[in-house]
Structures are given as structure tokens and as C-alpha cells.
Amino acid sequence: MQGKRELGIDPVSGHSVIAQMTRFGPVIQIGDREEVKEGEKPRFANLKPGQSLETISFEEAMELFKLPMTIGKYKGEELTVNTGRFGPYIKMGDMYVNLPRNMDPMTITMDEATTLVDAKMDENAPLGHYQNLPITKGKGRFGPFIKWNDLFINIPVRFKLETINEAQSIELIDAKVDKEANRYIQNWPSEKISIENGRWGPYIKFGKNNLKVPKVNGEKVEGDYLQTVSLETVKSWIEAEIPDAFKKKEVKPKAAFKKK
């Protein structure tokens, strides 16, 4: 779809109701920048799964602005349903629960919502403790994991997310802690620079870049030398690979916005 579609006029504000594509995806917008008062912003709503900018009607678009909607209270917290960038969800306190694809946020019942919340709470409940800190589990972008003390640890195939227990989790935590302890030869977090042990030997990490450690006087350097090498020397190695890596970028002043 090119440009935008005007669907009608919002009876409350008198502003245009527009279907358009933005950098955050397809949205319905009430009020463009010429219509809203100074200090106010247009209102936006995300489309539901199955809806299209090309075919959505004015009535369907206005339904989207009924969210967020409070559907009741559970365990002393308000349950609200809303839709966001990744689809519809329930919010209870600080907890967010995604709705299944076949569930409409406009018609979800209290029983359905509390069932989803209970399942999420069970998933978030600690499966055990290690050094007096909770161990939790979950499933993320890269597969099942356990979390302990801000460490995220992938669950290997020999264990199952559904049945992994405290002892198995502690085994994975100990292995991860040992690996992390041996990971850094030197680390300068504020500079986003480190010298790390890798599978094929030491390497330099600069931001998202992985760089080879250069030879010194034609010879491969050893770990003992890398433990004492200065930050300035490491920066010179980085600049040899990435010229102007530490050159400050000039911030250009923004051009004044001219009204048509």
C-alpha cells in the first residue's frame, strides 16, 4: 500500500481517521499533525491479526481504539487487555502475557484471562535456588533457557524445559560461571573493549567487532603478555583494523522545520 487511506472522521475529536504504513508497521491514526493542537499528539492503534490497511473499514478501525480495556481484578491487581507491536496481550502489574492467535482481545473473558495469567505465573515461578538466588526458566528467541543472577543459560538438548530440575540447573550454572570466569583476559567495559579467550585463541572484541590479535615483532603473542598489555596499545591495534574507530562523530545541528 502506498501513502495512506482516509477512512472517515472521529465523532469525538473531529479528526481524520487514517490507515497508513509507518516505520513501526501498519497502524490506524486519529488526527494528523496539522489537526491536533500544539502539545497534543495523534492517537495510534495497531491492527489485529488478519486485518489489512487496504480493506479495514471505519467501524473496524474505531473498534481498535477501545483498547486498552480493563476486564477486571485478579489477586488484587487490575487486568487490562491491549495490543502492541507484537500482538494483543494481557497486563497485570508488571507482568505481560501474550494472547494466543485464536483469541480476540475485544471478546476475551475473565476466566480465559486468569487461566493465561496463572500459566504465566507458573512458568515464571522459581524451579529452585542456588546461593540463595532463584532459578527460573523460559523460552526465548534462541530456545529454552534458565536464568540465574542475571545470567541467561541455554538449556542443552539432553535436558527438557518441562522437566529440568534444580540439580540439573545448578550443573549448567556452574559450567556457565566457570566459562565466564575464563572468558576475559582483560576487559574495559566503559570502552566496550575486551581481550577474550576464543575457540581458536585470544581475540579482541570492540563493540560488535571481533578482531585478531596482531603479531608483535613478527611473533605471536602469549596470554601472559595480553594480561599486561595497555589499553592504549589495544586501541592502536583496533585503529590499524578500523581507521578512525575512536574519532568523535560531528553532531550536525538539526534544520529548522518550516511549515508549508
Residues 62 and 18 in one domain: yes
What CA–CA distance (Å, rounded) separates 122 from 116? Answer: 10
With left for phi above 0 and alpha for psi between -120 and 50, is residue 254 left, alpha or beta? beta
- Name the residue range of residue 13's domain: 4-66
Beta strands in 143-208 (DSSP E): 143-148, 151-154, 184-188, 193-198, 201-206
Asked if residue 260 is part of any domain, the answer here is no
Q: pLDDT tens digit string along 10-67? A: 999 999 999 998 887 888 999 988 888 888 888 888 888 788 999 999 999 998 898 8
What CA–CA distance (Å, rounded) separates 258 from 256? Answer: 6
Q: Is the dihedral of CA 210, 212, 214, 219 positive or negative?
A: positive
Q: By the 8 A CB rule, do 229 and 186 touch?
A: yes
**Cis, bond preceding 214 (omega within 30 deg of 0):** no
The domain boundary, picked from 41, 66, 91, lies at 66
Model pTM? 0.47
The pLDDT of residue 106 is 84
End-to-end Cα, the chain, rounded Å: 26
Q: CB-based contacts of 224: which residues, under 8 Å, 6+ apart?
A: none
Residues 8 and 56 in one domain: yes
Asked if residue 250 is part of any domain, the answer here is no
Q: For the chain, 260 residues long, give each residue's pLDDT as a single digit of tens.
A: 456 899 999 999 999 999 998 887 888 999 988 888 888 888 888 888 788 999 999 999 998 898 889 999 999 999 999 887 777 899 999 889 989 888 888 889 999 999 999 988 887 789 999 999 999 988 877 889 999 998 999 999 999 988 999 999 999 999 999 888 888 899 999 999 999 998 888 999 999 999 999 998 888 888 789 999 999 999 999 999 999 889 876 656 655 545 54
Asked if residue 247 is part of any domain, the answer here is no
Residues 37 and 88 in one domain: no
Residues 58 and 111 in one domain: no
Residues 77 and 57 in one domain: no
Residues 74 and 99 in one domain: yes
Residues 177 and 194 in one domain: no
Structurally, the chain folds into a number of domains equal to: 4
Asked if residue 251 is part of any domain, the answer here is no
The pLDDT of residue 22 is 85
Asked if residue 217 is part of any domain, the answer here is yes
Residues 109 and 93 in one domain: yes
